[in-house]
């Protein structure tokens, strides 16, 4: 095997030519980038409303906007009903866009292999990967806890860089972090059989460490911004998993793993006066319920108005809680957006008007007819 010295001495690339090749690559990269400034913007970017509450979203595919035409195949997130299938951020924008600013809807960001090249030269990238979404939504498909701070996508450092452009405005803003299901869902089978196995503890502890690092970085730059840490949905309640783990022992073991994660988030917010915890598991139980004492499915039906009835089942029509591609359905996201807005009003004390049940019914009617 040739040594590094041998490779450098190869007649194909002479050592004296390497600096020129690197410079050429760098020039090519720089030419493909928009002009960037290291100083804060003196005026808000186009589409930004300084009178509204800025809201940033960090997360995975359940937070990535469903109308993103770049990140999703044509039949994803609702199939034939995709145009009427919205994510929670899209719902908040439609119902409280006059009070909450998630940034303008735009196509932006960089994906591999260009992202790899930019990272190699240390050139800052505002968003990764490329997608169509609200400017302050950094979520992407398949994201796990490592994407909070490391990997090429590293959502929190990129968000903080953006917040640094207008730090005074973000003193009254909010960051919602909802991530980690990809990590814990993958070890539910292990936890069901062997509670607190090393593989399980590694996932929980690793996630919580990333959350602590994320909070540390946010607070280093933005002390007053409210941060909502969202607990994880207990994935044994996913409609696609209802035939699995049908015993009290298995379900209780899985619940203990999610308890460890949620309690870790609670501990983080307990030491931060401008942070709060959103209990996603309690929210779901309050609507659809849970399994019974023997671990069997025992879910309720959620009623919206006089006709719409939503069950904990899978399908793209609005009467299913989950979509056919196993993501949160329209009604799930509308009710989740309602709960998050209530949390921002009641807990974060932000000036946003809660969304009433009658408003939910009126909003859903044209989307479900």
∠ CA(278), CA(108), CA(82), 5° rounding? 65
Spatial separation of the C-alpha atoms in residues 40 and 162, rounded to whole Å: 9
Q: What is the pLDDT of residue 24?
A: 42
∠ CA(280), CA(275), CA(204), 5° rounding? 55
What is the DSSP secondary-structure string of 87-128?
A: -HHHHHHHHHTTTEE---EEEE---TTHHHHHHHTT---SSS
Q: What is the pLDDT of residue 110?
A: 81
Could you give the dihedral angle defined by the CA atoms of residues 186, 276, 166 and 137, in that order, rounded to the nearest 10 degrees? Answer: 30
pLDDT in tens, 309-330: 999 999 999 999 999 999 999 9
> Where do the DSSP E strands lie in the chain?
53-59, 100-101, 105-108, 131-134, 174-178, 226-230, 275-278, 289-291, 297-299, 302-304, 308-314, 320-322
Q: What is the pLDDT of residue 4?
A: 35
Q: Which residues partner with 101 through β-bridges?
A: 54
Please name each of the domains of the chain with its CATH number: 43-368 (3.40.50.1110)
60 neighbors 142 (Cβ within 8 angstroms): yes
Q: Give 112's contacts (C-beta < 8 A, 6+ positions apart).
A: 129, 152
H/E segment holding residue 337: helix 330-346
328 neighbors 337 (Cβ within 8 angstroms): no
Q: What is the pLDDT of residue 79?
A: 95
Tokens 């929210």 sit on residue: 283
Count CA atoms closer than 13 A to 310's CA, side-chain side: 26
CB pairs under 8 A, 24+ apart, for 118-127? 118/29, 118/33, 119/152, 121/25, 121/26, 121/29, 123/29, 123/30, 123/33, 124/36, 124/161, 125/158, 126/158, 126/161, 126/162, 127/158
pLDDT in tens, 102-138: 999 999 888 767 767 767 667 776 787 899 999 999 9
Q: What sign does the dihedral 56-59-62-66 (CA atoms) show?
A: positive
pTM for this prediction:
0.87
Pull the structure tokens for residue 304: 């919206």
Alpha-carbon separation of residue 278 from 85, 95, 282 (angstroms): 24, 20, 9
Spatial separation of the C-alpha atoms in residues 104 and 47, rounded to whole Å: 5
141 neighbors 64 (Cβ within 8 angstroms): yes
87 neighbors 177 (Cβ within 8 angstroms): no
Spatial separation of the C-alpha atoms in residues 191 and 257, rounded to whole Å: 7
Residue ranges for the chain with pLDDT beneath 70: 1-49, 112, 115, 118, 120-121, 125
């Amino acid at each position: 095997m040739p040594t590094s010295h041998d490779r450098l001495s190869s007649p194909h690339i002479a050592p004296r030519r390497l600096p020129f090749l690197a410079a050429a690559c760098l020039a090519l990269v720089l030419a493909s980038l928009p002009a960037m400034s290291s100083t804060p913007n003196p005026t808000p970017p186009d589409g930004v409303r300084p009178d509204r509450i800025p809201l940033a979203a960090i997360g995975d595919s359940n937070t990535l906007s469903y109308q993103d035409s770049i990140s999703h195949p044509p039949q994803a997130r609702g199939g034939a009903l995709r145009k009427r299938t919205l994510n929670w951020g899209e719902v908040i924008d439609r119902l409280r866009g006059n009070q909450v600013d998630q940034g303008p809807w735009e196509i932006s960001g960089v994906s591999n292999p260009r992202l790899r090249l930019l990272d190699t030269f240390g050139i800052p990238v505002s968003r990764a990967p490329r997608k169509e979404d609200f400017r302050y939504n950094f979520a992407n498909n398949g994201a796990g806890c490592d994407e909070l701070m490391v990997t090429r996508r590293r959502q929190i450092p990129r968000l903080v860089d953006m917040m640094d452009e207008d730090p005074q405005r973000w003193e009254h803003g909010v960051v919602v972090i909802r991530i980690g299901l990809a990590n814990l869902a993958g070890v539910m089978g292990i936890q069901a059989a062997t509670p607190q196995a090393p593989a399980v503890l590694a996932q929980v502890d690793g996630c919580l460490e990333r959350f602590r690092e994320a909070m540390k970085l946010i607070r280093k730059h933005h002390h007053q911004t409210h941060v909502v840490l969202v607990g994880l949905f207990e994935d044994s309640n996913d409609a696609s998993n209802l035939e699995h783990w049908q015993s009290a022992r298995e379900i209780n073991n899985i619940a203990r793993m999610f308890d460890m994660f949620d309690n870790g988030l609670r501990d983080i917010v307990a030491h931060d006066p401008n942070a709060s915890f959103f209990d996603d598991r309690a929210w779901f139980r309050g609507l659809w319920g849970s399994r019974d004492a023997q671990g069997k499915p025992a879910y309720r039906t959620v009623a919206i108005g006089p006709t719409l009835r939503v069950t904990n089942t899978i399908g793209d029509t609005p009467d299913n809680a989950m979509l056919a591609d196993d993501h949160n359905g329209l009604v799930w996201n509308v009710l989740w957006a309602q709960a998050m807005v209530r949390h921002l009003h009641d807990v974060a004390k932000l000036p946003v008007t809660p969304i009433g049940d009658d408003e939910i019914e009126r909003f859903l009617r044209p989307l479900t007819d």
